[in-house]
Amino acid sequence: MLDYLELTDYHYKHLTSSSRGLNDEQIMIREYSSFPNAPWTLARNLKNALNINSFEGVPGFFEAKGKKGGTYWSISGEGILIPYRNAKNQITGFQYRVDNPPPIAKIQQMSGVYGLKSKNKGNKVSVYHEDDLILEKKMEIGETLKLRNSKGKILGFVSLKKGGRYFWLSSAKKKNGTGSGSPSPVHVSVPSKFLKQWEEGKILKREKIWLTEGALKADIATDMLSRNFNREQLELYGDTFLATPGVNAWQAVLPVLKQMEVKEINLAFDRDFSSNPYVMQALKDFMTYAKDEGYHVNMVTWGKDDGKGIDDLLLIGKTPTITPIF
User: Which CATH number characterizes residue 23's domain?
Assistant: 3.90.980.10
**Are 250 and 315 members of one domain?**
yes
End position of a domain, from candidates 149, 177, 205 = 177
**Are 48 and 116 members of one domain?**
no
pLDDT of residue 280: 87
**Are 223 and 276 members of one domain?**
yes
Contact 189, 219 (CB under 8 A): yes
**Are 264 and 193 members of one domain?**
yes
CATH code for the domain in which residue 308 is found: 3.40.1360
Structure letter (DSSP) for residue 184 = P
Residue-by-residue pLDDT tens, the chain, 326 positions: 999 999 999 999 999 999 999 999 999 999 999 999 999 999 999 999 999 999 999 999 999 998 888 899 999 999 999 999 999 999 999 999 999 998 999 999 999 999 999 999 999 999 999 989 999 999 999 999 999 998 899 999 999 999 999 999 999 999 999 999 888 999 999 999 999 999 999 999 999 999 999 999 999 999 999 899 999 999 999 999 999 988 888 999 999 999 999 999 999 999 887 777 888 888 999 999 999 999 999 999 999 999 999 999 999 999 999 999 99
**Are 22 and 170 members of one domain?**
yes
End position of a domain, from candidates 122, 150, 177 = 177
pLDDT of residue 274: 76
**Are 155 and 169 members of one domain?**
no
**Are 279 and 210 members of one domain?**
yes
pLDDT of residue 150: 87
Could you give phi then psi for residue 222, rounded to 5 degrees?
A: -65, -30
Contact 251, 183 (CB under 8 A): yes
Could you give phi then psi for residue 121, rounded to 5 degrees?
A: -120, 100
**Are 51 and 14 members of one domain?**
yes
pLDDT of residue 294: 96
**Are 170 and 207 members of one domain?**
no
pLDDT of residue 68: 81
Q: Which residues, at least 6 apart from 89, have a Cβ–Cβ distance to it below 8 Å? A: 188, 195, 198, 199, 200, 201, 202, 204
**Are 197 and 71 members of one domain?**
no
Torsion of CA 17, 19, 24, 27, to 10 degrees: -130
Number of domains observed in the structure of the chain = 3
**Are 220 and 117 members of one domain?**
no
**Are 91 and 119 members of one domain?**
no
- The whole domain housing 41 covers 1-97+165-177
pLDDT of residue 191: 98
